[in-house]
């Protein structure tokens, strides 16, 4: 090895390259692929379950109330994030476009879909 200057070194590789050239990474790659599949499967399954429940809530609320899809999506996500309830701040924020009874129905539908008691289906809103 010869040092040319501060940032340049001239070196000659003198070991056998076979250990580096023919390294078998099959087990590492197989492990990486298995972990990738597991992560994707779990994420996709969770997302599909969320969308099924979200669609249930949307269908129940749309059948009983006329509410903009954007408002409904926001309120449902907020209720899911808060364990089935819509916060007081969100209620105030949406009070001009969504009545309180509709917000109560959204909370009930989210609670039944996302946080169900054992073997309880979503009931239609009267």
pTM equals 0.65
Half-sphere exposure of 97 (CA within 13 A, CB side): 11
Cα(125)–Cα(94) distance, rounded to whole angstroms?
21
Report the pLDDT value the prediction gives residue 24, as an integer from 0 to 100. Answer: 80
52 contacts 45 by C-beta, under 8 angstroms: no
Task: With beta carbons less than 8 A apart as the criterion, state whether 107 and 86 touch.
Answer: yes
Per-block average pLDDT, block size 10, for the chain (126 residues)?
79 70 84 92 89 95 91 95 93 93 94 79 66
In order, the DSSP letters of 112-126 are: HHHSPPTT-PPPPP-
pLDDT of residue 41: 86
Q: Which residue has the tokens 């590492």?
A: 28
For residue 32 the two structure tokens come to: 């990486």
Confidence at residue 19, expressed as pLDDT on a 0 to 100 scale:
61
Task: Measure the CA–CA gap between 112 and 55, rounded to whole angstroms.
Answer: 13
Given a contact cutoff of 8 angstroms between Cβ atoms, the answer to whether 124 and 56 are in contact is no
């Amino acid at each position: 090895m010869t040092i040319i200057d501060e940032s340049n070194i001239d070196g000659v590789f003198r070991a056998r390259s076979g250990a580096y050239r023919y390294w078998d990474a099959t087990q590492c790659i197989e492990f990486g692929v298995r972990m990738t599949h597991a992560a994707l499967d779990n994420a996709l399954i969770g997302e599909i379950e969320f969308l099924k429940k979200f669609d249930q809530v949307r269908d129940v609320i749309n059948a009983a109330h006329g509410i903009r899809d954007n408002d409904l999506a926001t309120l449902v996500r907020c209720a899911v994030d808060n364990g089935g309830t819509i916060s007081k701040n969100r209620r105030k924020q949406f009070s001009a476009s969504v009545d309180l009874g509709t917000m109560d129905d959204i909370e009930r539908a989210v609670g039944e879909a996302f946080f169900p008691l054992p073997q309880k289906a979503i009931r239609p809103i009267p």
